[in-house]
Structures are given as C-alpha cells and as structure tokens.
Amino acid sequence: MKKRMTGLTPLRKWLVLIFTFAIVQLLIQLNIINDYLQATIATIFINIILAVSLNLITGFTGQFSLGHAGFMSIGAYVCGLTLLRIPTIGGFLAGLLTGAVLAAIVGFLVGLPTLRLRGDYLAIATLGMSEIIRIVFINLEITNGAAGLSGIPRFTNWAFLYIFAVGTILLISNFLKSTHGRACISIREDEIAAEAMGINTTKYKVTAFTIGAFCAGIAGALYASYFYYLNPNTFGFLKSIDVLVIVVLGGMGSLSGSVLAAILLAIISTILQDFSDLRMVIYAFLLIIIMIFRPQGLMGSKEITFKVFRNLGGLLSARKGGK
C-alpha cells in the first residue's frame, strides 16, 4: 500500500514543488498575473491553510469546530500589531510566529475543557469561543476597537504564501501518516473503540485542535500583512462557516480536496463578480447542487498524490513511444 502511494522520489517531489513556485513567480514578474489576480491567489492560499488545518480537526479527528476564524484573528492581530511597531521583514516573521503560537496556546486552553463535548455541543462551544475573541478585539484599546487596524505594511508575497501553504500541508499530512495521526482518525471512526484500544482520546483531540489553531494563526498573519487592514468583524462567525464550506465541499478527510475546493470556490466567485446582484444566490445555489450530487465532497476521503504526475509522465512517454 505504502509503496504504491509513493509515486515520485522525494527529490522529484521537491522539483515539482519548486517548478510550480518558479512558474508563478515568473508570471508575476512578467506582470501576466496582475494585482487583482495576485489578491485572488493570496485569498486562495490563505484559505488553503485554513481549510487544510480545519480538516485536521473536523475531517480527520471528527471534532466539529466552528471557531477557526477566532484562531485566525489572533494570528492576524498579533502580526498586525507587531508590524505596526516593527515594519520590517523580521517583524513580520516574528509577528507571524508569535501569532501562530498564541493561537495554538488559546486553542490548547479552549480545547482542554470543550473537547470533552461531542458533535453539536462542541460546535456551539467553539462558536462561542470565537465570538468571545472577536468581542475582546472590538473592546481592546490596543486593537483600535471596531475601527480596526489600518496601514499594516505588506510583507506577504507569493513566496511566503506558497511556503506556508506547502509547509502546512506537509506538516499536517506527515502528522496524519504518523501513529498519532492514525490515533486521531480512529477517534473520528469510533471514539469508544479508540479508547478501548488504549488511545488517549482527549490528548489527541487537543493535539489536533492545537495544531489546527497554530496553522490558522499563520493564515491570519499572512492575511494581515497582505490586505493592509484588519477589522474584528472580518473574523466573525461567517468566516468560520466559509472555511467549513471549503472543507465539506472538498471532502472531510481529504487534504487535496480542501486545496481543490479552495481554488474552485475562488474561481467561482471570481467569475461571478460580473453578476454582482445574483452573485451570492448563484454561489449558494451551486453549493446546494454540488452537495446534492456529491454529498461526500469533491474528493470524499481520497487524495490526489504526486502519483498523478507520474501517471501523466507515463502517459506522455507512452504516446511518444507510439503505443
């Protein structure tokens, strides 16, 4: 099973990753990808980080969380505030890391008591947590309340977006392949059986939650330093729902599904820009249609792996050989 999954050698995997990066970088340099497209790409990659990390919590570990926007906002505000004081690349990276760590700490502290709850109760508890964070940001002086923070210098660029998105995916997919990841999946599959196998279910739920919160913090920091401006209401309940929609649409338990769905939804909403009045109606309608015909999400729990590239390569060389 494992051997079949490894389609390419590690070296080739890295080459594919670097190649993809270089092509987009080149297109940006040549101005073929304009500012508007760049903003769309930023949104896509931030959403990928959010969706992949929420998928770890909800899709793989089976803990229904509606609090992802809360963790994201912690990363965003910490990085934003740092950048307003230290507007350098060092400040950006320091802010990003501090924000992610703080989000993880909050995730840990919130997860410890709430992850004992199940299903809908957990969803409501995490929703409440995220609202508390938002209201704290509205009422704090340092975050400039409801007016938000503006003039945050931009350091988020294609390179950072790409590195952090790929890093998040690698972190989470490697975690899932480890014994710990297996333990998380077994909790989703059957919590009582997992416990009977000697798996410390609370520990793994909290671990998944903390890793997820950490990555959401990174996404928030990237957001803060790309869009110049932060407002607590950006990180409301609807933001969490947006991320959940990506996860469900892509497939609970499929990382590549989350990536695919993040891209697809961005494309759909870009195309729909031209129909501004009906935009949200069509968007919602499309979601309903997709969910009726593919309730398990685009990918179900399957993954697209690097095997695709090998098969593609095999197909091409077979054609050349005239077969």
Give the binding site for other proteins (CB under 8 A): 1, 179, 182-183, 185-186, 189-190, 192-200, 301
**What is the nearest approach in angstroms of other proteins to the Cβ of residue 253?**
8
**What is the nearest approach in angstroms of other proteins to the Cβ of residue 187?**
10
13 vs 182 by CB, closer to other proteins? 182
- DSSP assignment letter at 116: T
Query: Residue 159, Cβ neighbours under 10 Å: how many?
Result: 12
**What is the nearest approach in angstroms of other proteins to the Cβ of residue 90?**
42
- Its sign, for the CA torsion 99, 64, 2, 9, is negative
Coil, helix or strand at residue 230: strand
Please list the alpha-helical segments (H only) found in the chain: 2-5, 10-29, 35-54, 68-85, 89-114, 119-139, 158-177, 179-189, 191-196, 201-224, 237-250, 255-271, 279-293, 307-320
197 vs 271 by CB, closer to other proteins? 197
**What is the nearest approach in angstroms of other proteins to the Cβ of residue 191?**
9
191 vs 242 by CB, closer to other proteins? 191
Residues whose CB falls within 8 Å of the CB of residue 284, separated by 6 or more in sequence, listed in order: none
**What is the nearest approach in angstroms of other proteins to the Cβ of residue 55?**
15
Length of the chain: 323
- Both tokens of 167, joined, read 């890093």
187 vs 221 by CB, closer to other proteins? 187
254 vs 258 by CB, closer to other proteins? 254
Residues whose CB falls within 8 Å of the CB of residue 171, separated by 6 or more in sequence, listed in order: 211, 215
Whole-angstrom distance, CA of residue 257 vs CA of residue 169: 12
**What is the nearest approach in angstroms of other proteins to the Cβ of residue 184?**
11
72 vs 115 by CB, closer to other proteins? 115
**What is the nearest approach in angstroms of other proteins to the Cβ of residue 124?**
23
- Cross-strand partners of 230: 149
47 vs 254 by CB, closer to other proteins? 254
